[in-house]
Chain A
Amino acid sequence: MAGQNRVRARVLIRPKAGILDPQGEAVQRALPALGFEGVANVHVGRLVELDVEDPSQLEPMCEKLLANPLVEDYEIVLREGAQDADAGGTRQGLGIRYRDIQ
């Protein structure tokens, strides 16, 4: 029945590598001032959490609305035991990785 078999998903969206990320840089500069040394590659993105009946729709959702593929990479994280053939796998070339939530 509709709504009974939803899977919890998290979509992690971050600036693409190589694109200036002034937010990440500002955070990276702030940490040593607080005594946290040895921090590198800080990037600030956003998290979209959602329950979906059909996890295969997550990728088109990301491409169309949740992320802007020109400037952002996204990572789809599915809850453990999700009925998705790609869960735990990697899709090369699209900048998308699926993995189980710990």
Chain B
Amino acid sequence: MKFGVVRFPGSCDEVDALRAARRVGDAELLWHGERDLKGADAIIVPGGFSYGDYLRAGAIARFSPVMESVIAFARDGGLVLGICNGFQVLCEAKLLPGALLPNANLRFTFRQVDLDVVRGDTAFTCACGSDGGLSAHPPHSILSIPAKHSWGRYYADEQQLAALEQNGQVVLRYALGENFNGSLNDIAGVRNERGNVFGLMPHPEHAVDELTGSTDGLCIFASMRLAVEGARV
């Protein structure tokens, strides 16, 4: 199982994403100017400030050569995870519905947040049971992972929002009292209708070691590994 982690000019969380992915499999960086995904089984579009966040967060990165390949990879059913700026890029690329707007508090905010795992049966959360194993998939487990962003207010229009809820595309919600950015319906992470593309604003890659207080983020990467290897069987 090999993860490809995209690096744009202005990315800053790609090394943590690489290290997190390496806890569950192989991982390699993918340069934004190249189209080669280097045989990756799953792609991570990491956090940061791709292309300086010029114009709008993710607006320019979405047209980079590597994203052409990532978009094709996603259309073929490949697993794509977008974290923070990566989530913004995936929305701009229309791989995910909606958009991320400036935080309602107008501040860059960095804090540990509790997230409700609304769905524990997705390719990105299937290892997020309370025991971290395959057997238990409680419908509501909680992940404690950090969020740090200024543009994290998830928005979708009324119709899209209704469709998201109806199709079960909301995977993570901010727990009660944790929605500091004003996201609609407390949405912290959504997937596409097909279920192979997932984006979230908080950073699971920063919560994979006791050193930083939580290892809850690891289950996102472990889930992707399970999904990829399960698909091979």
Contact = CB atoms under 8 A, between A and B. Distances in A.
Interface residues of B, number: 18
Contact of A68 (B59, B104, B153, B182): B59
Interface in B162-189: 182
Given A70-B98, A71-B99, A22 B155 contact: no
B25 interface: no
A75 B27 CA distance: 45
Report which residue of B98, B101, B103 has the largest number of chain A beta carbons within 10 angstroms of its beta carbon.
B101
A26 B106 contact: yes
A68 B157 contact: no
B55 A23 contact: no
B205 interface: no
Interface in B91-117: 92, 98-99, 101-106
A65 B101 contact: no
Contact of A22 (B99, B106, B157): B106
Main secondary structure of the interface of A (DSSP, over half): mixed
Given A68-B92, A71-B155, A23 B102 contact: yes
Interface in A1-57: 15, 19-20, 22-23, 26
Given A26-B106, A68-B92, A71-B101, A20 B59 contact: no
Contacts of B106: 22-23, 26
Given A22-B104, A22-B106, A65 B59 contact: yes
Contacts of A70: 98-99, 155-157
B55 A66 contact: yes
B73 to A, nearest CB: 22
Contacts of B153: 20
B104 A20 contact: yes
B56 interface: yes
The 8 closest A-B pairs by CB, nearest first: A71-B99, A22-B106, A70-B99, A22-B104, A68-B99, A71-B155, A68-B56, A26-B106
